Structure 1
Amino acid sequence: MEDMQQVYTQAVAAHESGEVAEAIELYGKILAQFPDADVVLYNQGLALFDSERYAEAVAVFTRAVEVRQDDADTWYNLGLALKQEQQYSEAVDAYKQALALQPEDRDVLFNLANCCRENGDREEAAVYYARLLKLEPDHISALNNFAYLCHLRHDNAQAEQLYLRLLELQPDHPGTRHMLAALTGKFTDTPENAYVRDLFDQYSDSFEQSLMGKLEYRVPELLFDLVRRTQVAQEKNLKQPEQLSEQPYAHCLDLGCGTGLAGKLFSPYCQQLSGVDLSGKMLAHAAEKGVYDRIVVDDVVHFLCEDEQQYDLLVAADMLIYLADLEPLLRAAFQRTAPGGLFVFSTEHGEKNQWQVRQTGRFAHQYEYVVEVAQRHGWQLVTSEEADLRREEDAWIRGDLFVLTRKGVS
């Protein structure tokens, strides 16, 4: 029989040197003989978490808290693993157990507040953000998250106070001036790239679940259906006019592609598919879908200006809502589109001005403004429709869908 103390020493050494797979195996040898060894369970849970084997980490940490219920760190790490599995309700319970043991732990409070928010309990999230900020008034991330939470709850006075405090501490904090302007209804321009990138990096892991579940997001499907019907109308001699012809597009560019929801729909009809987005973390999820031939981390307008490819289909699903003035995008997109190519995109519907910033920080665009700017830069409107884009506060967000074409010769 092996000396288990020696095995444990080897396991810890492997873990500390980054040989995580070996550490997991060695911890397992010990647990096969001593299944209630709480320290070994804890360490194996950490190693599994480091290996992104989150479901297994949940199982091991669950066993560890059964063995020893008075260890706050184990409850906390169980919460982290559950959060990675998007089991937010269970994560909240684990963090509460940790908080009962360590009532002033800043990390526990912050993660608990975040999970309450993700779980849809904004009131409870507000309680824990407030507790954390009482202990640590200058906690930047808590100020930012709590400000936006108050913003969403229409507690405008507190949201404004928190935004202003955040700007005192960090005058160049990405997006804070933009969100403050959105809150107060003051004019604001397109936000800095850092704000959009950080926003989507933060929500990349839960992005699809939130959109498709809670918000009933349908923009990619709506755009795909509109393109399908546009092509059917153009191809008079199709044997099956209800279907797209096989791979009718030589090269499609998915602008602001995110996790690849639109790309997944359009890829079967494109010989090549490229995607560009500011958020590297969103693109990591897009890459997992295996539908893109090329993925680029970049600002879309900068990419369009620097790229040398020509595309016969450009898609922008829910991307223009992060832009104020659309002229730079429509001008650059025209240069990258082959004659006869299409640009299909969505906007949130605005009733006044050329564009307006909503309290959410997203932009709405007036229909006439979009058409006028498009035509000024050489586009011809093929078709457009109004549609329900997603749910927000138990109501549908109305939007406009556009299909533009580039006429003329190159």
Structure 2
Amino acid sequence: MSQAKTFDPNLAKLHAIEADIAAGKLQQAATSLNALNAATPADPRIYLAAAMLARAANNPKQEIASLQHAVAISPSWPPGHLELAKVYSRLARHDDAVATANRAVELVPKDLTVLEVAVAVAHAAGDTLTGRRHLQAAFALKPTDTRITKALGICLIALGDYRDAEAHWRNALVQDPDDWFVLGWLGACLIGLDRKEEAVEVLQRAIALSPGNPTLTFYLAVARGETPLTQPREMTQDLFDGYANRFDKHLVGELKYRVPKRVAEMIRDGSSGLHTSVLDLGCGTGLLGVYLGPISGAFVGVDVSAKMLEKAVPHGVYTELRQADLLDELRRISPESFEYIAANDVFIYVGDLSEIIPAAFHVLRHGGAMIFSCETADSAEGALVLRSSKRYAHSRESIEILCRDAGFSSCSFEMIDLRFDGGDVPIAGFIAVAHKA
């Protein structure tokens, strides 16, 4: 992908400029770049270096402009498109990122480096179909690459293409029959195909190779028709780390997610001029903070995903953000520290609340309230059920009992459609408000 020349007078100068940028000598780098650009304005590499300088100066607008110029003067040069796609993705301009990465692939369809970036960009955008296309192209070029093989298999399962996924994982198993990772994903695939007896056998083999693995144990319970009490932390953390860059747009825009806004209204209605303190469990990217705004007391957000917390920082409303397991954090906090505890669409990934609700009770001040949402389990499903979406649903009766046993004086419910899966399928749920007298 580099421009091969018998003699390249700019190469050494560009390396020197990059070294200056790395050393923080930004003004010196800028002076050298201006001189180089005046002498050879048609060299697109100058604008890649200019983009590097802009990023070091924390100037994303100029970074994009420099890369756009590189693409404009050399539209058939793949690195310009590739670097621009990376920047678009980093800045959450996902549609632009995918389109730009696709253009790079069109220019060099058999370049694994380009395909790898295109896959990463598609993944960040939540564009699984595009990701599959690029992964299939990469797999065709290098079918023995285990990273590509595993990524494609996971992608197929994410799309619900279980039949192709099964064939893919079984082929991967031929290469290494004792790969617990491959066996685990094959087991998950067989669960998706409702061939649970086969899944049990495969997952037992996987656990024998990776004893105590919490994710394998979780899927084995599902294959046996059991309801695991909770999801492993690793599963939740991986899910939301990968979701961070597109979380707000996807959840609020596409899924019409309304819970944080409603919970913010409840806190505002119950507080005098927002003179209160809030613990936001599973705060994610900080949507509750966006809707509630600054408050006079402590506003602490807790989440297992560091990448989600990074997105919450710019809102500037949280007094502290902590990466931690929710139950562990509740146990660390001093008793009677907060007037409100919120947990918006968090317990659908937690499952068993028999320890979290009592722990939250101790953290609440007298007169405070715990406000949280759950998907509604109907009478046929029981108190707690793990649905095929890998989300838990709770019955109102079970929540009321847990709150009463923990010491809450009352527990009221507001029925609400939590979100719309697929854009138009409402997911029934409720917001529970448990008061501490």
Q: Does TM, scored on the shorter chain, surpass 0.5?
A: yes
Moved more, 84-93 or 274-283: 84-93
Deviations 1:286-337 (A, max 9, x none): 3244432211111222222222372111111122234454342222212221
Call closer, same or farther: CA 1:205–1:325 in 2, change over 3 Å: same
Q: CA separation in 1, counterparts of 2:376 and 2:256?
A: 18
Q: CA separation in 2, counterparts of 1:18 and 1:130?
A: 48
Q: CA separation in 2, counterparts of 1:388 and 1:293?
A: 30
Q: CA separation in 1, counterparts of 2:420 and 2:175?
A: 36
Q: Paired residue for 1:405? A: 435
Matches within 5 A, 1:243-322: 246-247=273-274, 249-267=275-293, 272-308=298-334, 310-322=337-349
Matches within 5 A, 1:6-405: 7-8=10-11, 19=22, 26=46, 28=48, 35=74, 41-42=78-79, 45=82, 49=86, 52=90, 64-118=104-158, 124-126=164-166, 128-186=168-226, 188-208=228-248, 211-212=251-252, 215-224=255-264, 231=270, 246-247=273-274, 249-267=275-293, 272-308=298-334, 310-350=337-377, 351=379, 354-391=383-420, 396-405=426-435
TM-score scaled to structure 2, two decimals?
Answer: 0.71
Q: CA separation in 2, counterparts of 1:77 and 1:291?
A: 34
Deviation at 1:120, TM superposition (A): 6.2
One-letter amino acid matched to 2:416? A
Deviation at 1:250, TM superposition (A): 1.5
Where in structure 2 are there 5+ consecutive unaligned residues? 34-43, 51-69
Deviation at 1:402, TM superposition (A): 1.0
Q: CA separation in 2, counterparts of 1:114 and 1:14?
A: 41
Q: Paired residue for 1:5? A: 8
One-letter amino acid matched to 2:216? T
Deviation at 1:283, TM superposition (A): 1.9
Deviation at 1:137, TM superposition (A): 4.3
Deviations 1:229-255 (A, max 9, x none): x64xxxxxxxxxxxx8642x4111111
Q: CA separation in 2, counterparts of 1:4 and 1:37?
A: 21
Q: CA separation in 1, counterparts of 2:122 and 2:131?
A: 5
Call closer, same or farther: CA 1:197–1:54 in 2, change over 3 Å: closer
One-letter amino acid matched to 2:405? R
Deviations 1:25-74 (A, max 9, x none): 64747979993886xx4498469749947878767755554444443333
Contact 2:124 2:242 in 1 (8 A): no
One-letter amino acid matched to 1:185? G
Call closer, same or farther: CA 1:291–1:204 in 2, change over 3 Å: same
Identity level (%): 26
Deviation at 1:123, TM superposition (A): 5.3
How many residue pairs align between the two structures? 390
One-letter amino acid matched to 1:400? F
Higher RCO (CA-CA < 8 Å; seq separation 6+): 1
Contact 2:339 2:367 in 1 (8 A): yes
Deviations 1:130-180 (A, max 9, x none): 444444445555544454354345443454344333312212223221232
Call closer, same or farther: CA 1:123–1:353 in 2, change over 3 Å: closer
Q: CA separation in 2, counterparts of 1:391 and 1:165?
A: 38
One-letter amino acid matched to 1:365? H
Contact 1:54 1:82 in 2 (8 A): no
